[in-house]
Amino acid sequence: MRWRPFGPSGPSWWELTVQALSSTDGGYDRLAPRFDATPFRTPDPIVRRALDGVERVPAAIDLCCGTGAALGVLAGNADRVVGIDRSAGMLEQARHRLPNAELLQGDALAPPPELEGAFDVATCFGAFGHIRPTDEPTFVAATHRLLRPGGRFVFATTDPSQGRFVGRAMARAFNGVMHVRNALWRPPFIMFYLTFELPRARALLQAAGFDVEADHPFEPPFDRLVRVVATKR
């Protein structure tokens, strides 16, 4: 077994274990310096394809921006680029890479009221697993408030009808382990697969006042993902 499963710049098994046993925020603070060497960072082709066809806009925000996977692409699409994340460590890495982005430490479930109505585009990548299903309506409502009328929330998610049986079974097994971990160990680490999938995302977004379109612009190995563009009515 390799000591560092994601290569020499990535975290060791020990570091991953310590991360998983700390809180969600504490775990990301610890992982931050090595995060970009892990598969947890959203690959550039996913961000680029998701934003394909999104014309230049005055302002865009990336929710749960981490080390800035989407911020770099959004910088080519928007005059003002804002990233929000709860982890100070992740934001520190983003600040090194993207000195011109506005980076805020905060909760995507409760963004600052002064940002309401300020954005033409909102994005969120690789973070739905950290939002409890019970918090998803709050998350959708907060995103709706951030956008101007006609503004778009763009993201990639999974579609249960496209998933492979083995992959989904492994994801459910992982979720089971995390439920046990959180029952036995405090503070919890909120990280689950198969959340905010297309049918549920569509229903929540429509209920919150978005028109929802979904398509499949991604190339292998990401072609099972679905792009969602939700436009604020």
Ligand X SMILES: C[S@@+](CC[C@H](N)C(=O)[O-])C[C@H]1O[C@@H](n2cnc3c(N)ncnc32)[C@H](O)[C@@H]1O
Write out the residues near ligand X by the rule CB under 6 A: 28, 40-42, 64-66, 69, 84-87, 90, 107-109, 125-127, 130
The arrangement of strands across the sheet holding 78-85 comes to 102-105, 78-85, 57-63, 119-124, 147-158, 225-232, 210-215
Q: Rounded to the nearest whole angstrom, what is the least distance from the CB of residue 227 to ligand X in the complex?
A: 15
Angle formed at CA 118 by CA 200 and CA 211, multiple of 5 degrees:
30
Q: Which is nearer to ligand X, 211 or 219 (CB)?
A: 219
Q: Which is nearer to ligand X, 100 or 161 (CB)?
A: 100
Q: Which is nearer to ligand X, 66 or 151 (CB)?
A: 66
Q: Rounded to the nearest whole angstrom, what is the least distance from the CB of residue 7 to ligand X in the complex?
A: 17
Q: Rounded to the nearest whole angstrom, what is the least distance from the CB of residue 191 to ligand X in the complex?
A: 8
3-state secondary structure of 42: coil
Q: Rounded to the nearest whole angstrom, what is the least distance from the CB of residue 53 to ligand X in the complex?
A: 20
Q: Rounded to the nearest whole angstrom, what is the least distance from the CB of residue 15 to ligand X in the complex?
A: 15
Q: How far apart are alpha carbons 47 and 67 in whole angstroms?
A: 14
Q: Which is nearer to ligand X, 69 or 78 (CB)?
A: 69
Residue sitting closest to ligand X (CB): 66
Following DSSP, what letter does each residue of 160-191 receive, concatenated? Answer: TTT--HHHHHHHHHHHHHHHHHHHHSSS----
Q: Virtual CA dihedral for 61, 64, 68, 71, nearest 10 degrees?
A: -20
Q: Which is nearer to ligand X, 137 or 211 (CB)?
A: 137
